Chain A
């Protein structure tokens, strides 16, 4: 296991280098000039050129890349072209917000999807199964922004139960923070839950038909024990893969939900930075998200070993 972890950590280096080249190359290849975004429609040619020179945007692309990478190696992601803030500070301020919203959405999604998937599999081809799977299709079909607006209308405007905008950290004020988390988490959780529920159901159905389950049943092992100890554990590996992808999706930020609920997360930062061609911010954000994503994937891989003993990382 240790060797695997070390191998994974070492493999992160070329991944990050590749990502740095790709992100840098792509964002610079896309037409658009941050200087014009800053100076606006009243900009004059010489003013634009002077500012491009000041910001180093007139230097050869390789020189710009070299400058950025050398800063990166010193832990400096550079400064935002638009606001002149250190990129690292900008990301560190937003990352906890995104992580909290993602964690809340994931917890809520799993608490809905796993029981739904199990129950559907156990009551396969019954009304319970049809109703649950119908709801799943409904949840998948509903765009999250529309759901978010409906939730605001119901829970904030009509019932006045929950706040409709902003963010309070649960580490500052747990209960108040929780109130601010409920609606964004719900808006994200439904679509995520739908996918996990479907995967849990089909995976469980497959496992429940395995010989060892039939044997266990015939030996008189309690049904609850079979479902949770044997079936669920074995059915969970593919579900885990989906969850891993979903974590990645959530960490990249969900721009629409962040916009609707005015949440200062990473997604909004990346979106604005791309729109404004704020190169250092785009590069820094994507790199940070990649790092987190790579580690989440490694954690998911490691978790396979727990759910499926056949997976052994130290075997040659």
Chain B
């Protein structure tokens, strides 16, 4: 009996302890989360901005799309309750969630969804972000207070990626408000976990918790599931100078600094008063060299192979981003299911002797070839410096021409370059990721086989088959070398130790609604 009493007493004690510790560890609401932004917002209207910063700040807090990503990067409904695609792939029915409130307390209805889906593909709307990707949408019809149907002129296999994209996020906005403001976003109003308070240009963006938030529930799974909104307020400070961002973190003026200067990451990681995370996101930007196919040497596959075999991608990654990148030749982003390390074997590997062999077949006599680059994104310039030395080692004579970013973009689009140092925004679907292998490419690459495979991808719904075609395209890029990919860049963030709730998935895009302060 006495034993039983003791046992009972112990169980009560342990349970109380466990409960106590659970209560102690449970995240609490409150506080202002302060992070830095390397550049200011460019626009509050996500339907017409592709700028990464606009989508990363407002797209993750104020606005929400119809679809988003789970932990494994599968696209799943967010503001949609359910959806149905017709067998012929020409009719997509979207049933939207009931009771979802905009920040102005109006309920999101089918009319708002139709308005937004029309707005992002309207040719008369300057900068309509999804004009091309939703070109084959004939019409969007409201078929019920919470139902819309999209009618397509031909199937769009990557339509769900487009609806979930974070590049030109199709966030839901209230139709009535926009119509009353001449179709302009004067103050961002969305359905997201945080509502807009102020944007002090070139200084900061202030958001506060949206108390009536109701869009998402259930277990956390990537961007899906409950959005806890622990912080009362979020402040994003515009701080262009990397050194001051770190000093502000040290001083306690910031709780988080994303996009760390590569040269400082190693030192920052050694510090015990910071949590530093780095990693590869599935939509990581990729750095590469384009070549102009109108050039007498660059149009020769042997010359391009010579260039490719001369490049040591590991060394380039070290030189350009201090190793905080994944060196690869693959157009398939290493985080996507279509990728496997086996694919790397197909790519031209660093082999100067082989590079020289290929070069000998081209009749090249050491003529200077220009590499166009800019310093706006430092890795774009630094990868040139590393590559120039490697090409020189096999006898390819190059000179560097540095221009500003706007000129760089214009010359890229006009094909006014020989070798072009560039970066592409990573995309999660094979079609968008291979846009530079489409017949509309700017560097005059023409290969019917490539175009045919890509067209087949455009007509394929089956993800397995799409991935197969994706790998075929990659295989062709290894043989043809239309461009030379060097690395995919890693994301990074430094957080003060009291910020909790940050996980590796957050390197993809911070789920700030689930972060909290440890008191």
Contact = CB atoms under 8 A, between A and B. Distances in A.
Contacts of B411: 31
A275 B405 contact: yes
A274 to B, nearest CB: 8
A44 B423 contact: no
11 contacts: A30-B407, A31-B403, A32-B406, A42-B425, A44-B132, A55-B126, A83-B42, A157-B251, A260-B244, A268-B202, A275-B404
A51 B413 contact: no
Interface in A15-57: 30-34, 36-48, 50-51, 54-55
Interface residues of A, number: 53
B161 to A, nearest CB: 13
Contact of B201 (A30, A90, A157): A90
Given A54-B126, A83-B43, A264-B201, 17 more contacts: A32-B409, A36-B409, A36-B410, A38-B127, A42-B427, A42-B435, A82-B42, A82-B43, A83-B42, A149-B247, A160-B251, A166-B203, A167-B203, A262-B237, A265-B202, A275-B376, A275-B404
Interface of B: 40, 42-43, 48-51, 123-124, 126-127, 131-132, 167, 184, 200-204, 237-241, 243-244, 247-248, 250-251, 253, 376, 403-407, 409-413, 422-425, 427, 432, 435, 440, 442
Given A55-B126, A149-B244, A157-B250, A43 B237 contact: no
Contacts of A272: 40
B131 A50 contact: yes
Given A40-B50, A276-B406, A47 B203 contact: no
Given A30-B407, A47-B132, A48-B413, A264 B202 contact: yes
Nearest to B123: A50
B244 A36 contact: no
Contacts of A36: 406, 409-410, 413
Nearest to B254: A165
Interface string A58-91: 0000000000000000000000001110000010
Contacts of A268: 202
Contacts of A265: 202
Nearest to A34: B406
B406 A277 contact: yes
B424 A31 contact: no
A311 interface: no
Contacts of B405: 32, 37, 275
A261 B243 CA distance: 11
Contact of B422 (A41, A167, A275, A277): A41
A47 B200 CA distance: 31
A251 to B, nearest CB: 17
Contacts of B440: 44-45
Interface in A102-155: 149, 152-153
**Interface on chain A toward B: helix, strand, loop, or mixed SS?**
helix
Interface of A: 30-34, 36-48, 50-51, 54-55, 82-84, 90, 93-94, 149, 152-153, 156-157, 160, 163-167, 258-265, 268-269, 272, 275-277
Contacts of A44: 132, 435, 440
Contacts of A42: 50, 167, 425, 427, 432, 435
A90 B200 CA distance: 11
Contact of B240 (A164, A167, A259, A277): A259
A166 B204 contact: yes
A30 B403 CA distance: 11
A38 B50 contact: yes
Contacts of B427: 42
Given A50-B123, A84-B184, A262 B131 contact: no
What 8 pairs between A and B have smallest CB-CB spacing?
A: A32-B406, A264-B202, A36-B409, A40-B50, A31-B407, A259-B240, A32-B407, A54-B126
Contacts of B131: 47, 50
Interface centre among B167, B253, B427, B432 (most CB of A within 10 A): B253
B270 to A, nearest CB: 19
A269 B202 contact: yes
A32 B411 CA distance: 8
Contacts of B203: 166-167, 262, 264
Nearest to A32: B406
Contacts of B240: 259, 262
B413 A165 contact: no
Interface centre among B127, B237, B412 (most CB of A within 10 A): B127
A40 B406 CA distance: 10
Contacts of B202: 94, 258, 262-265, 268-269
Contacts of B406: 31-34, 36-37, 275-277
A93 B203 CA distance: 12
A226 B432 CA distance: 79
A125 to B, nearest CB: 41
Nearest to B427: A42
Contacts of B435: 42, 44
A264 B41 CA distance: 13
